[in-house]
Chain A
Amino acid sequence: MTRSPDRLVRNSTTARLNHWLTGGCFVLLTLSGLAMFHPMLFFLSELFGGGQWMRAAHPWIGALLLLSYLGLIVQCWRDNLPSRDDIVWLGAINRVLANEEDGVPEVGRFNAGQKFVFWAMALLVPVLFVTGLVTWDVYFSPYTTIEQQRIAVLVHSLAALGAILVWILHVYAAIWVRGSVQAMTQGYVTRGWAWRHHRKWLRALTATGSSGPRPKA
């Protein structure tokens, strides 16, 4: 992409590659998981070369997702720490949803909604991984009782539903707030975008002469 010099780096190249590896794994896991969850969606197994291939691939993709998400946690946890601003921002959620930015408190690099997505996945991904291991019949069935496997598969499906709902929120927010998709594909946002959506972040970058994603120390 041809880059205007006054644009800001919203997400580093490493973060973007890491994000899309995670997202790719997530989509594949959702498709294969739903195929094994509901009979009416079993046709999705054909995308993976049939039921046997899908059953074999799903847990490996899950293991990759865990590693990938750990990478995102390492890169993003600091900017996702909760702050008092989050409560104020959530108090103005009606204005946020109505696209009325006036009166919405200034937020830093991530708003409370983005932090919710980040921490919800930080909780759900490990839950899905652990319960997935318990139900990974080929390698791990000897280490647990059948009753434990029954509980694990129920928890796995509940956690997966939660993760899918969080993912829908995440994807819709990206479509809704124009410029967000580009921020994660090419990595850049305009200063006007930062002013509108992450004003505290913009102030910190401007004050330190940083072009993002974090202010200069």
Chain B
Amino acid sequence: MSSLQSLDIAARSATTTPSPQVRKTPELAKLIDVSSCIGCKACQVACMQWNDLRDEVGDNIGTYDNPRDLTPESWTVMRFSEVETQTKDEGTRLEWLIRKDGCMHGEDPGCLKACPAPGAIVQYTNGIVDFISENCIGCGYCIKGCPFNIPRISPVDHKSYKCTLCSDRVGVGLEPACVKACPTGAIMFGSKSDMASWAGERIEDLKSRGFANAGLYDPPGVGGTHVMYVLHHADRPSLYAGLPDKPRISMFVEAWKGMFKPVALAGIAVAAVAGFLHWVVTGPNDVQPKDDAEAEHLRQKADDPT
């Protein structure tokens, strides 16, 4: 919501010069162990409470998803999926997969890449991607940049919102509110390497219980994420309410925000300079006295055909 001086900035939207780099801080990550989640929504409540957010009361659409989707006031939503999976011993099994959805805090954030407003999106050196609302112009480019469909623009104030990973809490050494509230320890927070090794233990346990494809979701297509999942079916992330199997920033966004930007400006500059050079080399095209005389002659002929 606002820039935190206690956190160092690694990347800043719409900024062409490097960020300060002398200080190094450890990379942090949140680990969501989907296999330990009981779907109680304590994380949603904690998120609302800590961030002072109150969404409109929604409606029931026949699932436990409430609210239906992420909104400017709901930065995390439990997504419930009933799926049938095949197992070796038990045949077809009905599974209820519950995934806490929200910003993944990617290492290569598509929102930040797409954002046109300087400093409206920052990435701290600890890996958190944060929206600095005062600089947000409400264009919606972050939505196009995001491979996970996370940011939501408020129709009231035309600002974009999403999970901050509680950057204000983390900046003063606290864990995110959802982590604090989770009653089963399904949400953990710490250095990314610690989280990866904790995930390794969980995955080993899951494998010993028959989930042969259990694994860590830390997609390399976006350079890894600072919110990671332990999935029982890591071979099929899309089972979990459409979690992208191989997320990456869209090639359309890469083209638009990549080489095209400098090439376009150079093209405009070349066209303008070419015009100026023509002006210097050849100069203006002036009407000559001969033209006036010819035109007058033409008119006289028309007035007096004889």
Q: Which residues of A contact B (CB under 8 A)?
A: 6, 35-42, 45, 50-52, 54-56, 97-99, 101, 135, 137-138, 141, 146-147, 149-151, 153-154, 157-158, 161, 164-165, 168-169, 171-172, 175-179, 190-197, 202-203, 206-207, 209
B94 on the interface (CB 8 Å rule)? no
User: What is the minimal beta-carbon distance from A60 to any residue of chain B, in angstroms?
Assistant: 14
Which residues on the A side are within 8 Å of B135 (C-beta)? 51
Contact with A along B164-189 (1 / 0, CB 8 A): 00000000000000000000000000
Q: Give which listed residue, B143, B250, B256, B283, contacts A157 with CB less than 8 A.
A: B256
Are A52 and B261 neighbours in the complex by a CB distance under 8 Å? no
6 smallest beta-carbon distances between A and B, as pairs? A192-B292, A137-B140, A51-B137, A191-B295, A172-B275, A39-B14
Q: Contact at B250–A52, with CB atoms within 8 Å? A: no
Cβ-defined contact, B267 with A191, below 8 A: no
Measured in the bound complex, the distance between the Cα atoms of B288 and A193 in whole Å is 8
For the complex, what is the distance from the CA of A45 to the CA of B264, rounded to whole Å? 19
Asked if B15 and A176 make an inter-chain contact with CB atoms under 8 angstroms apart, the answer reads no
Does the CB pair A168–B264 fall under 8 Å?
no
Contact with A along B133-147 (1 / 0, CB 8 A): 001011111011000
Contact with A along B266-304 (1 / 0, CB 8 A): 011001100100110011111111011111101100100
* Min C-beta distance of B208 to chain A, whole Å: 40
Which residues does chain A contribute within 8 Å of B288, judged by CB atoms? 192, 196
Most buried by A among B250, B278, B279, B291: B291
Task: Report the Cα distance A216→B137, complex, angstroms.
Answer: 53
| B61 close to A (CB within 8 Å) | no
B38 at the interface (CB under 8 A from A): no
Contact across chains for B295 and A39 when beta carbons are under 8 A apart: no
A176–B284 touching, CB < 8 Å: yes
> Chain A contacts of B16 at CB under 8 A?
39-40
B283→A179 contact, CB < 8 A: no
Interface contact A38-B265, CB-CB below 8 Å: yes
A–B Cβ pairs within 8 angstroms, 10 of them: A50-B137, A52-B137, A55-B158, A150-B256, A157-B260, A178-B285, A191-B298, A192-B292, A193-B291, A206-B302
Residue of A nearest to B302 (CB): A206
Closest to A169 in B: B271
- In contact, A178 and B286 (Cβ under 8 angstroms): yes
Given the known interface contacts A42-B116, A153-B256, the answer about A192 and B287 at a Cβ–Cβ threshold of 8 Å is yes
Residues of B within 8 A of A (CB): 14-16, 116-118, 135, 137-141, 143-144, 149, 153, 155, 158, 250, 252-253, 255-256, 260-261, 264-265, 267-268, 271-272, 275, 278-279, 282-289, 291-296, 298-299, 302
Contact assessment for A51 and B117 in the assembled complex, using a CB-CB cutoff below 8 Å: yes
A37 touches B139 (CB 8 A): no
Name which residue of chain A comes closest to B12, CB basis.
A39
- Looking at chain B's contact residues, the main secondary structure is helix
A147 to chain B, nearest CB (A): 7
- Cα–Cα distance between A132 and B282 once the two chains are bound (Å): 39
The answer to whether A193 touches B287, judged by C-beta atoms less than 8 angstroms apart, is yes
Which listed residue (A36, A150, A161, A171) contacts B253, Cβ 8 A? A150
Name the B residues within 8 Å of A194 (CB-CB): 295
Please measure, in the bound complex, the distance between the C-alpha atom of A179 and the C-alpha atom of B135, giving whole angstroms: 46
Which residue of chain A has its CB nearest to the CB of B253? A150
Asked, given contacts A99-B283, A137-B139, A176-B279, whether A42 binds B291 with beta carbons under 8 Å apart, the answer is no
B141: nearest residue on chain A (CB-CB)?
Answer: A153
Query: Which of A6, A38, A101, A147 counts the most B-chain CB atoms under 10 A from its CB?
Result: A38
Complex Cα gap A180–B203 (Å): 75
Known contacts A154-B252, A168-B275, A206-B302: A39-B116 contact under CB 8 Å = yes
- Bound Cα distance A30, B126 (Å): 38
Q: Which residues of A contact B293 (CB under 8 A)?
A: 192
Q: How far is the CB of A156 from chain B (nearest CB, A)?
A: 9
- Further pairs besides A149-B140, A153-B144, A190-B295: 16, Cβ < 8 Å: A42-B117, A45-B137, A54-B137, A99-B283, A135-B140, A138-B138, A146-B149, A154-B255, A168-B271, A169-B271, A175-B275, A178-B286, A191-B295, A192-B289, A195-B291, A206-B298
Contacts of A161 in B (CB 8 A): 264, 267-268
Whose C-beta in chain B lies nearest to the C-beta of A194? B295
Complex contacts, B289 vs chain A, CB 8 Å: 192
Q: Which residues on A sit within 8 Å (CB–CB) of B144?
A: 146, 149-150, 153
Tell me which of B15, B116, B295 contacts A192 (CB under 8 A): B295
Tell which of A56, A135, A196, A209 touches B287, judged by Cβ atoms closer than 8 Å: A196
